[in-house]
């Protein structure tokens, strides 16, 4: 009886001395994880990765390789994508408000259905990108390459385009109200049903656009350097 009692005391003391070891052996620790990351991943190679549904707001992905990756339905407000290579990336139905894509390679990327209000695309390559039904209110396009983009039913209200090439862009039913265009080429672009209410054109080329008869230019203006088709007469802009 005495031996049994001392044996029990010894076992109890061992459990008290090594509780963490005992728990680890009985049940492995589980690490909670959620698809949310806001931090620095500058210069990372994320090619082909699936980040669908992640929240990466305020993160820094500048200079990263994101070719063929899935960013579908991500929340990426104020995220830095400067100098990224996101060619062919799936970025549909995401939230990219006030995100920065300066000098990024976004060619053939899919953004359709995304919220990109206030985003900065200065120096970005957007050729062949899909911007259909994207909201880009107040977005910045300076020196952006935008040939052959698909931007049907997108909203560029209040955006600023400067030194941009929109040649052969598909922009049917697109909204450009209160948008400013400085040295922008619309050569071969289709603007059927688009709205340019109160838009301002400076040294831009609309001479060879398609669907201009079905576009709305109410209260829009242009300067003397802007090239217009014979069927379109705009008031002269009073100020730049």
**Contact assessment for residue 173 and residue 193, using Cβ atoms and an 8 Å cutoff:** yes
Tokens coding 21: 């070891």
Reported pTM: 0.82
pLDDT tens-digit profile of 125-158?
A: 999 999 999 999 999 999 999 999 999 999 999 9
Distance from chain centroid for Cα 31: 32
Q: What is the pLDDT of residues 39-86, one digit of tens each?
A: 668 888 988 889 899 999 999 999 999 888 899 999 999 999 999 998
Dump pLDDT digits (tens) for 61-72: 999 998 888 999
pLDDT at 4 over 90: no
How far apart CA 94 and CA 110 sit, in angstroms, is 10
Q: What is the pLDDT of residue 38?
A: 54
pLDDT confidence of residue 86: 85
Residue 39 has what pLDDT?
62
Residue whose structure tokens are 């052996």? 25
Question: What string of DSSP letters covers the chain?
Answer: -HHHHHHHHHHHHHHHH-HHHHHHHHS-------SB--SB-TT-B-TT-B-TT-B-TT-B-TT-B-TT-B-TT-B-TT-B-TT-B-TT-B-TT-B-TT-B-TT-B-TT-B-TT-B-TT-B-TT-B-TT-B-TT-B-TT-EEES-B-TT-B-TT-B-TT-EEEEEE-TT-B-TT-B-TT-EEEEEE-TT-B-TT-B-TT-EEES-B-TT-BSGGGSB-TT-EE-TT-B--TT---EEPS--
Whole-angstrom distance, CA of residue 124 vs CA of residue 180 = 18
Share of the chain above pLDDT 90, in %: 74
Tokens of 70: 């899935």
How many degrees, rounded to 5, is the angle at CA 108 between CA 116 and CA 228? 75
The whole-number pLDDT of residue 101 equals 97
Between CA 201 and CA 103 the distance in angstroms is 24
* Residue whose entry in the numeric block shows the structure tokens 């910045």: 140
Q: What is the pLDDT of residue 68?
A: 86
């Amino acid at each position: 009886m005495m031996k049994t009692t001392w044996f029990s005391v010894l076992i109890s003391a061992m459990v008290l001395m090594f509780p963490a070891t005992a728990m680890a052996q009985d049940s492995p620790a589980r690490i909670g994880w959620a698809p949310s990351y806001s931090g620095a991943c500058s210069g990372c190679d994320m090619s082909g990765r699936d980040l669908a549904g992640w929240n990466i707001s305020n993160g820094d992905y500048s200079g990263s390789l994101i070719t063929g990756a899935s960013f579908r339905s991500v929340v990426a407000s104020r995220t830095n994508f400067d100098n990224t290579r996101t060619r062919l990336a799936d970025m549909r139905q995401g939230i990219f408000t006030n995100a920065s894509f300066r000098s990024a390679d976004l060619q053939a990327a899919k953004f359709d259905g995304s919220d990109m209000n206030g985003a900065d695309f200065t120096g970005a390559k957007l050729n062949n990108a899909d911007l259909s039904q994207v909201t880009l209110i107040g977005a910045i396009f300076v020196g952006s390459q935008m040939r052959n983009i698909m931007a049907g039913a997108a909203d560029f209200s209040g955006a600023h385009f400067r030194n941009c090439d929109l040649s052969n862009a598909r922009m049917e039913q697109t909204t450009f109200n209160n948008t400013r265009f400085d040295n922008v080429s619309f050569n071969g672009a289709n603007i059927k049903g688009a709205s340019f209410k109160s838009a301002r054109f400076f040294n831009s080329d609309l001479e060879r656009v398609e669907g201009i008869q079905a576009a709305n230019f109410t209260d829009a203006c242009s300067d003397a350097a802007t090239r217009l088709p014979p069927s379109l007469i705009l008031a002269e802009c009073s100020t730049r």
